[in-house]
Structure 1
Amino acid sequence: MVRAGIAGLLATEPDFEVVGEAESGETALGIAATLRPDVVLMDLRMPGMGGVEATRRLTRSADPAPDPAPRVLIFTTYEEDDQILAAIEAGANGYLVKAAPAEELAAGVRAVAAGQTVLAPSIAVQLVARAHSGAERREEPGPRLTAREVEILRLVATGMSNPEIAAALFIGESTVKTHLLRTFEKLGVSDRTRAVTRAMECGIL
């Protein structure tokens, strides 16, 4: 009933097309392999394979462009630190809770589809708190980012796209991309979402 309600809600958006539904992680993988959706809205706890493992397989198994892996937006009732980090480390591009209003869910799907990172405010607070706690326990220094790299990463964390960051900082979009690639390399990550969470863990953000 919940899944049908969410699908019905999304189907009312003029720029959305709901192409499939799944009751388990295994089913989601099979449907996604056939339908190749742009975005997968993923719960965490389901019968059989859970959302974290399904996310990991979805984001790792797709062929290279022009047929890239779908972007995954976690949409769940669970807000535990370990679940949040596990989902993001598995490749999720965003994390919203089911208490979110309908307009926030729709905006989150659009943002994730556009390559942005989406975190519910309560989730962002928990990640920051965890990062600060981890920073206090660390003895070895973390990756060293330049002031500009940190500045750009802060804007990424707010959900801004590369063109928006370029306009805000009065630099070229290619310059933004170059800084982000260097940041990814220093942090040992491969995408924007994990860069933000890794920077939080290291106390950089």
Structure 2
Amino acid sequence: MSGAGIRVVVVDDHPVFRLGMMSLLATLPGLQVVGQAADSASARALVDDTVDVVLMDLDLGGESGIDLTRELVRAHPGLAVLVVTMSEADESVAAAVRVGARGYLLKDATPDAVERGIRAVASGEMIMGPRVAARAMAHLVGGRTAVRVPFPELTAREREVLDLLARGYDNAVISRRLVLSPKTVRNHVATILAKLSLSDRAAAIVRAREEGLGVDHS
């Protein structure tokens, strides 16, 4: 940590959230925002060994914040990644921690919680938002057998897209149901095909249904 305080980079593909977060951090003593990125390539170019904390969204418009976290932590061992995202899914939390994230907050966290999270991970602590921590504790105390997650190599958002794909929906419908742009849906589909080594949408539908996706369990 430099004499200028905690040096922070914000990585999020939503400009309103990203700029709002930067405005908040600019008001906090001892914190210095040194950059912002909307995608993986920009983040790689910004983050170096002088950066203390990266605030990381998990869904970067078709790119994976999990993969980027793994890459940045490996390249910069002193870096602390604090995930700030919409997903409170157990598998997303577990994946983030496995690749080296030191904290996990939801995007509805209060400004005080964000500040506490940044200062905590910068000092080497692990921190989770209250809802995330409560779910983790319930899982441990309840002693439940872990539920097998289909396609663990996919992000939670990619599994949502694949599930809707397996239901026979086209990109336009998936876009409306998940409130995503058509381009983002196309990027997700392309990433899913690449990660699962599938040739086309038809093959993805077959694989997804084999794993139980695309089925109405109600």
The TM-score with structure 2 as length reference comes to: 0.56
Which of 64, 68, 72 is residue 50 of structure 1 equivalent to? Answer: 64
Paired residue secondary structure (2:104) = strand
The residue that corresponds to 1:76 in the other structure is 85
The answer to which structure has the higher strand fraction is: 2
Which of 10, 17, 27 is residue 12 of structure 1 equivalent to? Answer: 27
Paired residue secondary structure (2:67) = helix
Paired residue secondary structure (2:63) = coil
Which of 109, 120, 128 is residue 111 of structure 1 equivalent to? Answer: 120
- Structure 2 vs 1, CA of residues 49 and 69 (structure 1 numbering), >3 Å: closer, same or farther? farther
Q: How far apart, CA to CA, are the structure 1 residues paired with 2:110 and 2:56?
A: 17
The letter for the 2-side match of 1:96 is L
Residue 16 of structure 1 and its aligned partner are, at CA, apart by: 0.5
Deviation per residue, 1:186-205 (Å, 9 max, x gap): xxxxxxxxxxxxxxxxxxxx
The residue that corresponds to 1:183 in the other structure is none
Q: How far apart, CA to CA, are the structure 2 residues paired with 1:77 and 1:89?
A: 18
The letter for the 2-side match of 1:49 is E
Asked if structure 2 preserves the Cα contact closer than 8 Å seen for 1:72 and 1:91, the reply is yes
Residue 131 of structure 1 and its aligned partner are, at CA, apart by: 3.1
The residue that corresponds to 2:96 in the other structure is 87
Percent identity at matched positions?
Answer: 37
Q: How far apart, CA to CA, are the structure 2 residues paired with 1:12 and 1:121?
A: 24
Q: How far apart, CA to CA, are the structure 2 residues paired with 1:136 and 1:101?
A: 31
The letter for the 2-side match of 1:31 is L
Which of 23, 38, 41 is residue 52 of structure 2 equivalent to? Answer: 38
- Structure 2 vs 1, CA of residues 137 and 47 (structure 1 numbering), >3 Å: closer, same or farther? closer
Asked if structure 2 preserves the Cα contact closer than 8 Å seen for 1:26 and 1:48, the reply is no
Residues 1:59 and 2:68 aligned together = no
The letter for the 2-side match of 1:129 is A
The TM-score with structure 1 as length reference comes to: 0.60
The letter for the 1-side match of 2:20 is G
Paired residue secondary structure (2:105) = strand
Residue 136 of structure 1 and its aligned partner are, at CA, apart by: 4.7
- Structure 2 vs 1, CA of residues 9 and 82 (structure 1 numbering), >3 Å: closer, same or farther? same
Q: How far apart, CA to CA, are the structure 2 residues paired with 1:136 and 1:28?
A: 37
Asked if structure 2 preserves the Cα contact closer than 8 Å seen for 1:42 and 1:73, the reply is yes
Asked if structure 2 preserves the Cα contact closer than 8 Å seen for 1:26 and 1:54, the reply is no
Q: How far apart, CA to CA, are the structure 2 residues paired with 1:131 and 1:82?
A: 14
The answer to which structure has the higher helix fraction is: 1
Paired residue secondary structure (1:3) = helix
- Structure 2 vs 1, CA of residues 13 and 137 (structure 1 numbering), >3 Å: closer, same or farther? closer
Pair member with larger Rg: 2
Q: How far apart, CA to CA, are the structure 1 residues paired with 2:61 and 2:50?
A: 22
The residue that corresponds to 1:25 in the other structure is 40
The residue that corresponds to 1:166 in the other structure is none
Q: Which runs of 5+ in 2 are unaligned?
A: 1-15, 147-218
Deviation per residue, 1:22-76 (Å, 9 max, x gap): 001232122103x6310000011012431101110111122xxxxx431000011
Paired residue secondary structure (1:21) = strand
